[in-house]
Structure 1
Amino acid sequence: MQINYRQYPHPVLSYFSDDVIDSDFQASLKSSKTQNTYIFEAACVTSCEGINQLIDDKKARFAFHLECPTTRFRKVFASFETNFTFQLATDYLEGKVQICSFILAAEDIQDYSVPEFHSDYEGHSFYIKKGDVLAIDAERTFFAEKEIDPLKRIPSIFSIQPNRSENALPLDMDSSGHKIIIKLSEDNFEHYKAVSLNQNLQPLLSSLIIMPALVSILEMVKNGDEQEFDLEECRWYQVINSRLKELEIDIGNKNTFSDSTLAVAQKLIGDPLNMSLLALVNFEDED
């Protein structure tokens, strides 16, 4: 829900306008998590006495709008209290969650006017409908991670598919979705399928196919290369970011990449080179 710099048909207390002067509105939302539930602790305050009086009279209330693009969940949680809590099942949230905080009209208000209005509105009042925005704070986000997520395993954030285009490259990659799609030419894909039937050669496939893709991805996120899509919306990005944090690597700080991206990729995927070489040695011994 994009709220920045929106035009309203009535004065709104906000950080991007002077409709209501010498006043501000601040809201914070802290989250904690149990196995199946998110618990949110809200704290709101406004220095606008006119709006505070409306809240005391139960004509306005504090509200938080939560929206999750991944699950398409959206809901408003509201209260007349400056401090309140609400809960939400973890199934409703996954990935990036957008949070907007407001003061909303709790009922229709015939002649809305507060002393803090800008002088341009002197002598004017406004008809406010129930649910209309009276004050707004800056939008924020947080990330909801599943406690049990099959994508926690680095190899499972990749999907290997055939590239059936006429001029297909031997190996190509698309990272714009929730998984990283590795595209193989049709011949290479057929060879891949045949080799993948041998469990002993799985590490070799990781070294040949997954490793170069992972190194390319790490170079991209390390250098902050601009993309046509929001990386943080991608589940693969969240998984890799989580694993990097376990290695004390901060994507936003290049200095924490003390090792090369090739070395980091080896750590993330579990040293497939060593296992690949052992697989080849064993394969040769069998022959």
Structure 2
Amino acid sequence: MANTRMMSLVESMQFEFEVLLTDEDLRQLLADGQANLVMKWRCAETFRLGQVMPHLTQELARTKKYIVAIPQDEIDGPVNLELQIVAAAAIPEYRLSKQNEDYGDTSFSIQPGDVLALGGYTTVQARKLYDPMQPPLESCFEFKEDEQLRSGIQLEFSNQNHVVVWIASATFRDFVALRSRPDFQIAAVMLPALMGTLTYMKHEAQPEDLAEERAWHKALSKLIEKHKVDNKSVVEQAQAILEDPIGRAVREESLDREEY
């Protein structure tokens, strides 16, 4: 396990990582469904522990990228992550072609749940669920599928807590599939959604529309103030708040291409 990266979402923490598996026997067991890749986690702060099945997101030249998600209310502070390959079925006479010479020709009776290999161990710092008085940007938006919309997105500003981003069905499926590439999701969908929302706040909303102090309006107003872009254009405001989303997406793509 290498290159672990943490992403903080509204309800969960996502951890992306890469795996390099060189043993052909273990590869075959995983391919045949006789073994599973499992991420075990433990959090001392919350006294919680558990295990999740990693989701394959991308196959690179030498490694594979996976992602796991753990609910925010389960973890806080240091979280220990350990990757394991675990037997999914009984294997009566198990032995590896390259097993340690001390074992000779010895075989083993493997039962479901037995650990076949350890893939690495790391500790990450998980931030606690966001303060409702200062919600993160992603909590200001809710993304939903619209079967009637032919293409693109539409914005709905009537909700008290967040702006609803309606996405055309075909685009929505691709958007969800890109969950392991948040930089692309941000550049492709979040950027235009944020620009549309800032335009609404700046030019279209009537005073009575925002009189209820909507949570998303308050959060975005604080971000505009934080980045000192109150007198800038909507394009400049959105890029500042999202911290150069197009540049980050392009750089991410360039780094991935170098691995092929």
**Which bracket does the TM-score occupy, shorter chain normalised?**
0.3 to 0.5
TM-score by length of 1: 0.41
Q: TM-score, normalised by structure 2?
A: 0.45
Query: Which structure is higher in strand share?
Result: 2
Q: Which has the larger radius of gyration?
A: 1
